[in-house]
Amino acid sequence: RVKTKWAATRPKFPSTELALHNFDTTYSMQFKDLWPSIRVAMLCEQKYGALINSFSSEPHIITDLEAQGCKDFISIGCSSNEVHQHSQEDTTTSHRDSTELEPAVLQHNISLDIKCLVFPQGDTSRFKPARPDSSGILGYYLLDAASVLPVLALDVQPGHTVLDLCAAPGGKTLALLQAHSVDYLWANDLSVSRTTRLRRTLQSYVPKELLDENKIHITSTDGRQLGLTEENRFDRVLVDVPCTTDRHSAMVEENNLFKRSRTKERQKLPLLQTQLLVAGIQAARRGGHIVYSTCTLSQLQNECVVQQAISLAQEELGITVQVQDLRWFAQCFSDTFHFASHLSVGELVLPHLCANFGPIYMCKLQRIN
Ligand code: SAM
């Protein structure tokens, strides 16, 4: 038997094991009987979506993907006006009252300019890498399809100014640009190396002439400061915060937040997330909308952060924010994603073996004064 060369330097407790232990303790209480099936899905191969790049001149991207069996989950979700009534026994999706939801479906906008194709439920086929067009612009961007939902929920309208507070590596920034309605986009991320990655992503997907500083402004600064410096400025603010990235933490050793040396950093996450959300609220104009999102199942990093930020904004800044109901929105996409039920605020996509997207949490707020 050959001994592995690095056996002596291998940690006694791999970070992935520590993460799973932590999840088993907290999520078995949070999700009760549902936790084992969420756990199994999180440990299996994640499903991707192909975010179609409307800047590519490649002619047959969508038809080629459709020929492989893929469908645009956004247009399907929007066209299904029929609102399903869930049975009380169905615990994986929310229990919604259809009569209450129908008017909301009709009132709200979902951008059909954003297209994201996925393989059907239960089909675990993989996407081929995207091809460049004659100018080198790639045809699609692969990402967890559920991560497009916070962008759709933000509902960017023509002429809007948008702040993407924690933007790198840039999947959601790219999705925001697909709507072609953004008048001015400020994409920020604290990490210089990740901001460099964001720039590279945009260079591979957006024509040079559109990457104009007056239209797309990219910075590497602490998002918490932008609340003060850019107060009351943006129509839309996306606050896609750093979190325990549950799927990554359960599967990958590299850059794992559950590494013992990163315990303090991990414990401080809810505070950082709250401060970032308060900054996002402050940077939104009166009447503007803010979407808070994470890729964790943790109630402490999701609902608790939202509640805490709402209180702090009111008490310390005198800003009132109102939580926007996204139940109609989850209802639209419930054929593609499995949403958690009974959340106090926001919506949460749960990993599921037949639709292995997420976790993605999102909550939409409106700044009132
Ligand atoms: N929105 C990105 C996307 O869709 O590709 C993913 C964002 S990732 C979940 C969170 C990001 O927050 C990381 O890139 C991290 O560098 C950044 N971050 C951490 N602390 C920050 C801070 N204080 N201000 C701004 N960004 C921060």
The ipTM of this complex is: 1.00
pLDDT at 98 over 60: no
Three-state SS at 252? coil
From ligand 1's centre to the CA of 240, what distance in Å? 7
Determine whether the shortest distance from the Cβ of 171 to ligand 1 is under 6 A.
Answer: yes
Taking alpha carbons only, the member of 43, 94, 30, 157 closest to residue 333 is 94
Determine whether the shortest distance from the Cβ of 240 to ligand 1 is under 6 A.
Answer: yes
The pLDDT tens digits of the residues spanning 303-336 come to 999 999 999 999 999 999 999 999 999 999 999 9
The Cα 254–Cα 247 span in angstroms is: 13
Residues labelled catalytic = 295
Measuring CA to CA, how many Å separate 67 from each of 60, 61, 261? 10, 10, 48
Cβ proximity of 183 and 157 under 8 Å: no
Tally the residues of the chain: 369
Determine whether the shortest distance from the Cβ of 222 to ligand 1 is under 6 A.
Answer: yes
The Cα 128–Cα 142 span in angstroms is: 10
The Cα 179–Cα 367 span in angstroms is: 23
Provide the pairing of β-strand 347-350 with 284-294: unpaired
Determine whether the shortest distance from the Cβ of 168 to ligand 1 is under 6 A.
Answer: yes
Which uninterrupted H or E stretch holds 320?
none
pLDDT at 190 over 90: yes
| Average per-residue pLDDT for the chain | 91
From ligand 1's centre to the CA of 166, what distance in Å? 4
The pLDDT tens digits of the residues spanning 56-85 come to 998 899 999 999 999 999 998 888 644 443
Provide the pairing of β-strand 321-324 with 338-339: unpaired
Determine whether the shortest distance from the Cβ of 154 to ligand 1 is under 6 A.
Answer: no
The pLDDT tens digits of the residues spanning 139-174 come to 999 999 999 999 999 999 999 999 999 999 999 999
Q: Sorting pLDDT into bands at 50, 70 and 90, what band is 5?
A: low
Taking alpha carbons only, the member of 75, 236, 73 closest to residue 143 is 73
The pair of three-digit structure tokens given for residue 100, joined into one six-digit string: 């209450």
The Cα 162–Cα 182 span in angstroms is: 7
Give the CATH number of domain 13-367: 3.40.50.150
φ/ψ bin of 36: left (φ > 0), alpha (ψ from -120 to 50), beta (otherwise): alpha
- DSSP 8-class letter at 352: B
Provide the pairing of β-strand 116-118 with 160-164: unpaired
Return the ligand 1 atom nearest residue 293 CA.
Answer: 9
The pLDDT tens digits of the residues spanning 102-133 come to 444 445 678 778 999 999 998 999 999 999 99
The Cα 353–Cα 42 span in angstroms is: 8
pLDDT of residue 85: 35
pLDDT of residue 213: 86
The pair of three-digit structure tokens given for residue 49, joined into one six-digit string: 């979506």
Q: Sorting pLDDT into bands at 50, 70 and 90, what band is 276?
A: very high
Entry pTM: 0.92
- Which residue among 189, 195, 277, 301 is best mutated to probe the pocket of ligand 1, counting the most ligand atoms within 8 A of its Cβ? 189
